[in-house]
């Protein structure tokens, strides 16, 4: 499933293709939304933004389309504007004179009044979105120091969208490595300095992944490995999905553990201090 950086990049692409352009045609696959097609035709989209793993599309009449890709949903914006050839099920299509955007396979699409967005059952449960322009460093740090989460295991907590939204499985392992913390502890077991490092890592790696298109590794390491003709999978991350490979920082073999049904990856030397 795409994580926050990928969803925000999708929102960026939708903004480029749709924002400020008059809609010439609109399509919903859902019967309950069909009556809204003619109402949206002729309007302009004013903004598209991500909220964790959902996307909000704002129309000029104060209507907002909420869409969540779940596991299989995907937006496609073909350069020629023609509908892509795919076996996926088309859910939404938005057309203007310059091009089109198509949403495939998503099962969760709704129209909301703008003033009801924050009351949506998914949105209202979210913690601060690490990549949202209104989120501050203090907002993220506050979560790590909150008593509300202190008894939660960090590996589970980092996947909880009510803690910090936009974090998924690859960012989880990368954040713990970058902060240099033991992944086996509860939040209350970390020192103040470690919590500060976790907050810093959460912001730094989320922003880095957004800016680079998915790379969380340090730029200096990436460039060095590229000069050695390393594959993308070898230089993209510090530890995620690198079981059995050497840590880029210390040379120790990367290990994995399963927690909550999903794998985490870590460097025993950099993170475990038994």
- Positions marked active-site: 2-3, 53, 262
Are 239 and 254 in contact by the 8 Å Cβ rule? The answer is: yes
DSSP string, the chain: ---HHHHHHHHHHHHHHHBTSBEEEEEESSGGGGGGHHHHTT-BEEEEEEETTEEEEEETTSEEEEEE-TTT-EEE--TT-PPP--SSPEEEEEEETTEEEEEES--EEEEEEGGGGGGSTTGGG---BTTSTT--HHHHHHHHT-GGGTTSBHHHHTT-TTTSBT--HHHHHHHHHHHT--TTSBGGGS-HHHHHHHHHHHHHHHHHHHHHTS--S-HHHHHHHHHTT--HHHHS-SSTT-TTSBPTTT-PBPEEEEETTEEEEE-HHHH---
**Which one, of 214, 149, 216, lies nearest residue 178 by Cα?**
216
* Placement of tokens 């859902």 in the chain: 30
Residues 176/153, Cβ–Cβ less than 8 Å: no
- Tokens 């506050």 appear where? 142
Name residue, tokens 């976790």.
198
What is the Cα–Cα distance from 178 to 60, expressed in whole angstroms?
A: 42
């Amino acid at each position: 499933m795409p994580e926050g950086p990928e969803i925000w990049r999708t929102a960026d692409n939708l903004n480029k293709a749709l924002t400020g352009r008059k809609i010439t045609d609109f399509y919903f696959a859902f019967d309950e939304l069909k009556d809204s097609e003619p109402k949206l035709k002729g309007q302009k989209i004013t903004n598209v933004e991500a909220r964790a793993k959902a996307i909000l599309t704002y129309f000029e009449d104060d209507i907002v389309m909420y869409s969540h890709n779940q596991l299989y949903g995907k937006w496609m914006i073909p350069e020629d504007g023609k509908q892509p050839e795919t076996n996926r099920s088309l859910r939404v299509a938005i057309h203007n004179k310059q091009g089109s955007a198509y949403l495939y396979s998503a099962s969760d699409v709704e129209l909301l009044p703008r003033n009801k967005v924050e009351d949506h059952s998914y949105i209202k449960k979210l913690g601060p979105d690490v990549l949202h322009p209104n989120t501050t460093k203090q907002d993220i740090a506050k979560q790590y120091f909150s008593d509300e989460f202190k008894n939660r295991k960090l590996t589970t907590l980092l996947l909880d969208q009510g803690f910090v939204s936009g974090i998924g499985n690859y960012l989880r392992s990368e954040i713990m490595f970058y902060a240099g913390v033991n992944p086996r502890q509860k939040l209350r077991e970390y020192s103040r300095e470690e919590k500060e490092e976790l907050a810093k890592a959460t912001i730094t790696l989320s922003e880095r992944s957004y800016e680079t298109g998915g790379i969380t590794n340090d730029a200096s390491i990436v460039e060095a490995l590229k000069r050695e003709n390393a594959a993308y999978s070898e230089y993209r991350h510090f530890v995620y999905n690198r079981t059995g490979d050497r840590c880029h920082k210390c040379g120790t073999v990367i290990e994995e553990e399963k927690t909550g049904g999903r794998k985490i990856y870590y460097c025993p030397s950099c993170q475990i201090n038994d």
